[in-house]
Structure 1
Amino acid sequence: MAGVALGTAGAAGAVAENAAAAQTVRGITFDRVLDASDFCDTTGSRDCSSAIEDRLTDGTLIKFPEGEYKIANDIYPGGPSNVGLYSEDGAVFKIPSNHHVTVFLNKGGRNVLFEGIDIDQTADGAFGNMKILCQDNAQIRNVEIIGRAPNADQRLDQHILADVYDSDGTSIIQNFKAADGGYLGAYRNSAGGIQATPGHHGTLKIIDCHLEEMANNGVYATRNDGDIQIEGGIYRNNDVAQVRFMGPNSYVDGALIEIDMSKSDNPGTPRKMRGVWVETKQSKFEGTKNGGYVRNCTIIVRDSPNSIEGIDLDETGGWLEVDNCYFVIDRDDTRAITGYRPEDKASNYPKAPRPWDLTVTNCSITGSAADRESIKVVGRPGSTVENTCIQQTASSRDGVTVVDASDCFVGNSTINVDGREVREVDTNVQTTSIETSGSCPLPGDSSSDSSDSTDSTDSTTDSNTDSSTDSTTDSTDSTATEHELVLTTEDSSEVSYEFTTTGKISKVLDDTRNSAETKNDDVSQNSDGTWSVAGYTGNGYGDSYTFDGELVEFGPETGPFTLTVDGQEVDPSSLGDSTDSTDSTTDSTDSTSDSTDSTDSTTDSTSDSTDSGGSTDTTTTHELIVDGEGRSELTNYEFTVSGSVEQTDDPGEDDVSGTTVVGAVAGGIDSFDFTGEVTSFSIDGPAKVTIDGQEVDPSTLGDSTSDSTDSTSDSTDSTSDSSTDSTSDSTDDSTDTTTTHELVLTTEDPSEVSYEFTTTGEISKVLDDTRNSAETKNDDVSQNSDGTWSVEGYTGNGYGDSYTFEGELVEFGPDTGPFTLLVDGQEVDPSTLGDSDSGSSQTVETVSKLTIDGMGTDELAYYRFSVSGSVKQIDDPGEDNVSNQKVRGATRRGIDEFEFTGQITSFTLDGPARVYLDDTVVDPDTLG
């Protein structure tokens, strides 16, 4: 990928010289330009890292001629500005075996460039990455990671960490390719793609990148208050999620999102693969975050051992708009889109503020998936599915399911499914103009003949082997002829492209201006016998190829380029339009019947695995899922297997120790791979349990146990006791326990206020106050499991909300904002609720911090502790489990941190870790 041709800024390119001998590249002016060959070995024999680092001062650009440069140590010059590492000719940074190296780390600079230099990590155990943590205008362009990241004995970072510290700043990652990824299933012990950390506050643009088979997300950009804007690109077979983001100015636009392990030769097995995951951890940054857009994307879920859905709108995710997207869902039990019920995952993992609605418009959902539904919405009032076509006719497949969500609308759509078009659970959905037959076009297809466009869609599902080939007969000749394809580009442009043919493709390397590149352009044969190219060109140059057979597809459809086949200009958008798709329709039918057969075999394997009287099978891997089905009620569970067990979704609050799992799930899904048999299973709550896709009765799994039940009841008692005590203590003198009180919230104009409050007695909305009336829709009143009552509301722009309540006002949030809080006509300061100075009898509990430091060792340290008060984890949970007043966790090289009240009542540690209490080293044996 390195070595994009660039001219002078005064002409057509990006580099210019001025009278002061300064040079400008990509709009960044450098005072001095150094030639790396003057101080670095270009054959890769001697380490060049320190020589580079020493010269990277403010205003310096280092140019790298073609060659290999050995980088054996981190290059960290600090935070200089107007600095860059740059190659026009095809330079490669070579990482030695068993070295983990950051090839460029800039922290705090502005105007930083890394372009045209590939990173080779093909040596055994080698790993290379970049950390560009800048104030503004960092640019990473035309870079390829060569080789797969290792399955290491320690945690690895992402291939690129990119933060924009300045809230008004913008950085760009463009045409970054890492198609070999990491070791699937290794999660943090192998690499991810691109991550923005909690230090990101500005805008990060990710343009035309190709990230594949990452072990820890393709793009991971949720734990910050900055914007993430993803435009184009390919995100395929990345574990956990292809793209993970959220934010009101954040979006994914025009990307290919694909889960299809038939295209992978990765040695590992993924834990759990999502398409787009919309979520965030609000406690990682100041303020709150909400919203996001997915538009003009193609989202495919085909072959995967454990994928969840095309788009996962998480419990912590806010509103989301999905527009003009094309879904192909072939995996059974897999939805195109799930909007889970908004709820806190943990005390330090809260849900997004309102609004929470999911809007799906102008989308097409096809594919052979059976069971469940195409779209599910849980607890998200005001959600809409409109102008959308769903054609999924396999068995027991519903169209749209809405659970416990008011004011939802489904209409002006085609829903052609085997099951129910719209399924309503604990709600009424407004529906209108729903067609129950017909086929689905591609998004944006203006053809009035729906059968033609549907057949074209079907042929896409069948890997473009039949009708899509027919559609190219106008632009190509018979399969016996060799054809020439030429792509030419406009000046000052960059084009990433892909195309597929039915016959062999060869590069044309002798056309000086339109020559294909030996490095930038990849030709490969696919498993179905077709051939494909993934290429890159621009700035008035082009690429040329010869191919046999027929041209199946070319993308993108439009851009600053011209496509010709055998000298005739071809419109890429016309490829795949066909009036004769009988063959592909037949293929689709065949694949459906094949899918039915596989269901039979799944049923057989399930009965084998759940029959405790049968022989133990220690080699077959089974999948066990505990599915909360969108409920708000928590389910606690524990099970043990006779073989091995591994969690395949994001661990969250679940703990796997040896052959035993202790976990909890609310509205989401916990999934595990195991061998052998389930020897015991206990569950407390309404979740559904499936093994290998078949629902099972947990009481029939192995031997029942009472320990889990006892511990659940114990934890319930402790929660109830502590909750009751704190509730009775934390009231304000402005309320009293025997009278019905009135609470009124008024707001400034203009403003928007999301709020929550809790009382010890019942709360009712006041609906007859015209300006300060509570809303039937925006404001939710609920009773909690400890007997208290809570409200989650939203108002603003000079309006307000009113309630009556019994008992005492326990808490109100936020503490400050553009509002006034009145209780019984008296103004109340929310920050004084629970404060000992307010006149109540409550004493303020001291919050302590406990830190377990793995000290960078390779050996895992296990720990358990309990406290007399409350406890919450303040770092990323990872594999650690916090349940009421007890913590169970493990750390190796990292640090686990917790905040707690009260005293540590017990503590055990097994392994080499250092323990700190309020940042002071303590002997673990003295705790508890």
Structure 2
Amino acid sequence: MTGAAATTLATGAAAAAGVSAADSEPAVADTEQMSERQLSISDGEDLSSYVSDSSNGELLVVPSGSYEWNRRVSFSRRNWGIRGEGDVEIAVPASRGRGTKNGYVLNVSGDNVFVENLTFDSDGRPAIGFRCIVDQRAEFRDITVASDGPRTWNAKQTNMFNVGAESSSGEVLLDGIVAYNNGNISQYNGGSSRVGIWSSRSGKLTVRNSVVSGFPNNGIYTRMPGALEVDNCVFANNNVSSIRLGGSNEVVKNSTFYLDLSRDDTTHSHPQRGVSNTGGITADNRERASNGGYVRNCSFIVENVPNSTGAIRFLENEWVEVEDSQFLLNQSDVPGVGWNNSGSARLRNLVFDTENGSGAAAASQGGQYPTVEDVCVSSDLSDGAIDASSRNCSFDWSQAHDYPNPDFEGGTETTGNGTDEPRLGNTLVIDGEGGSERADYQFAVDGAIEHSEYYSAYGTGGEIDGGSATGFVRGGADGFRFSGELTNLQIDDGPTVRVNGIEVDPDDIGEEDSGNGDSGLERTIAIDGDGGSERVTYRFTVDGEVERSEELSAYGTGGDIDGNSVSGFVRGGTDGFQFSGELTELEVDGEPIVRVDGAVVEPAEIVSSDAGQELVNTLVIDGEGSSERVDYQFAVDGAIEHSEYYSAYGTGGEIDDGSVTGFVRGGADGFRFSGELTDLQIDDGPTVRVNGVEVDPSRLWD
């Protein structure tokens, strides 16, 4: 188990009959149904292109190395998998998964899917996400993902794992997942921000031997009739909860939960821009889930977590059973079993302790406690709504997992059970690289600054005055942590400058930034919501390069850049970009202000009549949220490509030259094509739109 101790709590009472399905050994993918194909791929190549070209029945074997993943891969496959041999590290573009809930790097449906031994750790820490909805079986094993966000307000982000089995007899297994989301957990954004693991399907979900840390919209969030088993995992600082627990067939066992924001330098709340309300487990049975849930052999450590209402609390769930577990309550206003909302908590064989005499309550008022058996509450705590069976007890650290230690730059620097002071979220390093010349620098931020010994080596440390710092390096490195944005940086030639671990050009930062820098991207486009409350989506393509412009943006989502195409939305704010070449496609809904090269334009008139004519038509098959599977096939006399912009929770279909076959189950599959639509066959149910106009498939050729 990466990043956590392998110890587990002592085995408790036998499982209740109601969770026998959740306690059974999980089914796994059948790799015997796959033929191994060893990839001949070199360091730096685009692994996603190999994955996109794979077929049913293949198990791709990736040799040890460092690769890129530059495209979204969306397809339906059966008896398909990918496995890394040795150390396989994959870099993803920094914009991936931001500004949308659907920016998955891999979106695979079908059945019998297997993914193993891959590490995603990229500059810019994109919101890397995987979607895998199968009929019966899927397995993800030994997958590490290091992401970084959101750190900005009101940002949508793609869930890290969106998984599930459609069949009630189906199962999905996540084993050895290391999910680090090094962002500001207060940015819940009304539920539109990033979830660690999400499922709403009918089959069983098993998560074991895993780490889930730093998510703003819950670590594991399920709304499912299927069973859930969480075993031997460690969770740290997930807002609103590490696990939403809802159902008599759901069990959490042998796991450790940390509520301690002092250990993470980016998991802080921002005044009037979201708050943290971190809990360990929230009993929640909304939508397709039932009532109930079981917590066994778990440890809860509450140290420093503003606004929390309890390590375990209730929300629309009638009961939860907690047994053979321990609570360390070092924050006076956070109870062990907290905000109860009239739920019924059954407590057996529990320890409630504190290391600092906090006086916190073991169990708060408001709910019911029909069972309180063998519950020990330290004399330095309050019983609250229950009566303790005994007083002489202590929290046993040997029975808890260690705090997870993210090993990517910019994460927490604490390990084990230490109590390091909180740090500011961003880093700036000025590195003289061993040179003999003195190089002077000065910089300013719109937040706070502190010197960082961790990022410094043989430097002078600089002089900090409020939000600015001045100093020099001669061969050594001066490192700083800061909050807010870097607004100005001036430095003599020579040193290497890194911001949040990424090497930058000082001329591109702050007041000296013209918006174009030396990138050669001299043209600009800005989509301005003009302060409105309506969501406005956009999509554009250029025949050159494109990158986001912070100077031209304000309170926007940033869009999702995929090669030379960009899609996104604004709601009152502005998304701005720099690009080279010509605009070949521009589509917006609503009425935003669109400026190209600083001039207001009409989107319908900006693209030349002979530009972007290769794939000018669209076809969308929209399941409209239905639970029924609907198959389709169609053909054109030109070219076809899948469109992420027009798709949502669909399978993507399988494209074979000028024809496509696929299915939707509630979601939408969208395509772009050239030429004419020559055939379309589809089951009843979905809405079909051609070039944005709803059509009746049976009358297309009347």
Measure the CA separation in 1 of the matches of 2:337 and 2:418: 32
Cα offset, 1:527, TM superposition: 8.9
Q: Aligned runs of 1:774-793 on 2, under 5 Å?
A: none
Secondary structure of the residue aligned to 1:388 is: strand
C-alpha change, 1:894 and 1:853, in structure 2 (3 Å) is farther
Higher relative contact order (CA 8 A, sep 6+): 2
Measure the CA separation in 2 of the matches of 1:180 and 1:154: 14
Partner of 2:586: none
C-alpha change, 1:125 and 1:364, in structure 2 (3 Å) is closer
C-alpha change, 1:161 and 1:379, in structure 2 (3 Å) is same
C-alpha change, 1:400 and 1:499, in structure 2 (3 Å) is closer
C-alpha change, 1:146 and 1:297, in structure 2 (3 Å) is same
Measure the CA separation in 2 of the matches of 1:499 and 1:375: 25
* Contact 1:339–1:358, Cα closer than 8 Å, also in 2: no
Q: Aligned runs of 1:199-210 on 2, under 5 Å?
A: 200-210=201-211
For the pair 1:386 / 2:370, whether they are aligned, the reply is no
Q: Aligned runs of 1:265-344 on 2, under 5 Å?
A: 265-266=265-266, 268-269=268-269, 271-282=276-287, 285=288, 289-314=290-315, 316-338=316-338, 340-342=340-342
For the pair 1:175 / 2:176, whether they are aligned, the reply is yes
Measure the CA separation in 2 of the matches of 1:919 and 1:201: 27
Q: Aligned runs of 1:289-438 on 2, under 5 Å?
A: 289-314=290-315, 316-338=316-338, 340-342=340-342, 357-367=344-354, 368=356, 370=358, 373-380=361-368, 383-393=370-380, 398-401=382-385, 413-414=389-390, 438=391
* Contact 2:258–2:403, Cα closer than 8 Å, also in 1: no
* Contact 2:183–2:267, Cα closer than 8 Å, also in 1: no
Measure the CA separation in 1 of the matches of 2:277 and 2:116: 33
Partner of 1:90: 87
Cα offset, 1:51, TM superposition: 3.2
* Contact 1:182–1:192, Cα closer than 8 Å, also in 2: no
Measure the CA separation in 1 of the matches of 2:647 and 2:358: 42
C-alpha change, 1:164 and 1:210, in structure 2 (3 Å) is same
C-alpha change, 1:249 and 1:308, in structure 2 (3 Å) is same
Q: Aligned runs of 1:435-474 on 2, under 5 Å?
A: 438-441=391-394
Cα offset, 1:860, TM superposition: 1.8
Identity of aligned residues (%): 20
C-alpha change, 1:292 and 1:138, in structure 2 (3 Å) is same
Q: One-letter code of the match for 1:322?
A: V
C-alpha change, 1:248 and 1:499, in structure 2 (3 Å) is closer
Q: One-letter code of the match for 2:313?
A: D
Partner of 2:48: 49
Partner of 2:570: 859
| 2:37 aligned residue (28, 34, 37) | 34
Cα offset, 1:34, TM superposition: 1.8
C-alpha change, 1:527 and 1:230, in structure 2 (3 Å) is closer
Measure the CA separation in 1 of the matches of 2:36 and 2:688: 46
* Contact 1:87–1:117, Cα closer than 8 Å, also in 2: yes
C-alpha change, 1:181 and 1:220, in structure 2 (3 Å) is farther
Once superposed, which parts of structure 1, at least 4 consecutive aligned residues long, lie more than 6 Å away?
Answer: 527-531, 918-921
Q: Aligned runs of 1:710-789 on 2, under 5 Å?
A: none
Q: Structure 1 or 2: larger helix share?
A: 1
Q: In terms of Rg, which structure is larger?
A: 1
Q: One-letter code of the match for 1:145?
A: V
Q: Aligned runs of 1:59-98 on 2, under 5 Å?
A: 59-78=57-76, 80-98=77-95
Secondary structure of the residue aligned to 1:61 is: strand
* Contact 1:365–1:392, Cα closer than 8 Å, also in 2: no
* Contact 1:244–1:276, Cα closer than 8 Å, also in 2: yes
Measure the CA separation in 2 of the matches of 1:523 and 1:332: 25
Measure the CA separation in 1 of the matches of 2:412 and 2:268: 25
Q: One-letter code of the match for 2:232?
A: G
Partner of 1:215: 216
Measure the CA separation in 1 of the matches of 2:155 and 2:647: 9
Measure the CA separation in 1 of the matches of 2:176 and 2:277: 27
Q: Map Cα deviations across residues 340-376 of structure 1 (whole Å, 9 max, x no partner).
A: 234xxxxxxxxxxxxx532101000011465663213
Cα offset, 1:52, TM superposition: 1.4
* Contact 1:855–1:894, Cα closer than 8 Å, also in 2: no
Partner of 2:263: 263
Secondary structure of the residue aligned to 1:289 is: coil
Partner of 1:105: 107
| 1:193 aligned residue (191, 196, 199) | 196
Q: Map Cα deviations across residues 436-467 of structure 1 (whole Å, 9 max, x no partner).
A: xx41145xxxxxxxxxxxxxx5xx5xxx9xxx
Secondary structure of the residue aligned to 1:76 is: strand
* Contact 1:117–1:142, Cα closer than 8 Å, also in 2: yes
Q: One-letter code of the match for 1:34?
A: R
Which blocks of at least 5 consecutive residues in structure 1 are unaligned?
3-24, 343-355, 403-409, 415-437, 443-456, 469-495, 506-517, 532-618, 620-850, 863-873, 876-892, 896-917, 922-928
Cα offset, 1:140, TM superposition: 0.6
Which blocks of at least 5 consecutive residues in structure 2 are unaligned?
3-27, 98-102, 270-274, 421-466, 468-532, 539-567, 574-623, 626-645, 649-686, 693-702
Partner of 1:707: none
Secondary structure of the residue aligned to 1:52 is: helix
Cα offset, 1:272, TM superposition: 1.0
Cα offset, 1:266, TM superposition: 1.7
Cα offset, 1:137, TM superposition: 1.8
Residues paired across the two proteins, number: 400
Q: Map Cα deviations across residues 726-748 of structure 1 (whole Å, 9 max, x no partner).
A: xxxxxxxxxxxxxxxxxxxxxxx
Cα offset, 1:253, TM superposition: 0.2
Secondary structure of the residue aligned to 2:52 is: helix
* Contact 2:263–2:419, Cα closer than 8 Å, also in 1: no
C-alpha change, 1:30 and 1:321, in structure 2 (3 Å) is same
* Contact 1:290–1:319, Cα closer than 8 Å, also in 2: yes
* Contact 1:296–1:325, Cα closer than 8 Å, also in 2: yes
Secondary structure of the residue aligned to 1:51 is: helix
Q: One-letter code of the match for 2:293?
A: G
Measure the CA separation in 1 of the matches of 2:69 and 2:302: 39
* Contact 1:151–1:190, Cα closer than 8 Å, also in 2: no
Measure the CA separation in 2 of the matches of 1:525 and 1:91: 26
* Contact 1:184–1:268, Cα closer than 8 Å, also in 2: yes
Partner of 1:513: none
Secondary structure of the residue aligned to 1:225 is: coil
Partner of 1:900: none
* Contact 1:72–1:99, Cα closer than 8 Å, also in 2: no
Secondary structure of the residue aligned to 2:244 is: strand
C-alpha change, 1:259 and 1:99, in structure 2 (3 Å) is same
Q: Aligned runs of 1:2-17 on 2, under 5 Å?
A: none
Measure the CA separation in 1 of the matches of 2:418 and 2:125: 33
C-alpha change, 1:26 and 1:90, in structure 2 (3 Å) is farther
Cα offset, 1:528, TM superposition: 7.6
Q: Map Cα deviations across residues 761-814 of structure 1 (whole Å, 9 max, x no partner).
A: xxxxxxxxxxxxxxxxxxxxxxxxxxxxxxxxxxxxxxxxxxxxxxxxxxxxxx
* Contact 2:335–2:363, Cα closer than 8 Å, also in 1: yes
Q: Aligned runs of 1:439-588 on 2, under 5 Å?
A: 439-441=392-394, 526=415
For the pair 1:115 / 2:103, whether they are aligned, the reply is no
Q: Aligned runs of 1:139-158 on 2, under 5 Å?
A: 139-151=139-151, 154-158=155-159
Q: Map Cα deviations across residues 527-581 of structure 1 (whole Å, 9 max, x no partner).
A: 98799xxxxxxxxxxxxxxxxxxxxxxxxxxxxxxxxxxxxxxxxxxxxxxxxxx
* Contact 1:29–1:59, Cα closer than 8 Å, also in 2: no
Cα offset, 1:129, TM superposition: 1.3
* Contact 1:125–1:150, Cα closer than 8 Å, also in 2: no
Q: One-letter code of the match for 1:400?
A: G
* Contact 1:30–1:61, Cα closer than 8 Å, also in 2: no
Cα offset, 1:32, TM superposition: 2.7
Cα offset, 1:526, TM superposition: 4.0
* Contact 1:263–1:527, Cα closer than 8 Å, also in 2: no
Q: One-letter code of the match for 2:78?
A: S
